[in-house]
Amino acid sequence: MKIEFIVALVGLGGIIIGSVIGAGVSVWITKQQLSLSYRQHKVEILQGQITRLQNGLDKISGISIDVKDLNLSPDQIHSRSIDAFLQRSTIFLTFSYLFPGEYEKKVMELSNEINKLIYSAKVGQPIDDASSCRVVERMFETEKQMLILIRGRLRLLQSELDNLTTASK
């Protein structure tokens, strides 16, 4: 009877040890699968953001101003520049959630200010030349910053994507 009891205890011990090892391996495998799934999901999100930014940058860069006509007045050139800025800012605002909120606000406020000046001009209200010149200067500066921000964010996202893909190998 003593031997049977010892054999039963050894068998029970083996079952318990096997169960603990099996559970540990199962937890480890699950953890690895979840980690891989998380990385894949993060890669997909980054690729989507990169695609949106690149498409937006291509659209923004594709907007050009034709000023080759020698008969254009400075007002006509400014008008075309303003139209181009408004188009670019509209495109930028579609993915502006990827940037600091202050910059999005800056672009929206400048667009609204330009639209107010356009409205004033269309209804015949007087426009202060000095303030309109400042708006045009801010518009050109904002366009430069917009392109710098987009390209910088693209580099940052690409770097993050590269780090994730090399870490998973």
- Opening angle at CA 151, ends 146 and 152, nearest 5: 95
Q: Is residue 1 part of a domain?
A: no
Q: Are the beta carbons of 117 and 135 closer than 8 angstroms?
A: yes
- Look at residue 40 and tell me if it is in a domain: no
Q: Is residue 116 part of a domain?
A: yes
Question: Which CB contacts under 8 angstroms, 24+ apart, belong to 151-156?
Answer: 151/57, 153/53, 153/98, 153/99, 154/50, 154/53, 154/54, 154/57
Instruction: Let me know if residue 21 belongs to a domain.
Output: no
Q: What is the pLDDT of residues 57-90, one digit of tens each?
A: 999 999 888 767 667 777 777 788 889 999 999 9
Distance spanning both ends of the chain, measured CA to CA: 57
Of 65, 66, 37, 8, nearest in space to 164 by CA: 37
Q: Is residue 67 part of a domain?
A: yes
What residues make up the domain containing 155? 49-167
**14 domain residue, yes or no:** no
Please report whether residue 43 resides in a domain: no
Domain total of the chain: 1
Render pLDDT for 93-102 as a digit per residue (tens, 0 to 9): 999 999 988 9
Question: Does residue 143 belong to any structural domain of this protein?
Answer: yes
This prediction has a pTM of: 0.75
Q: Which of 32, 40, 58 is nearest to 161 (CA)?
A: 40
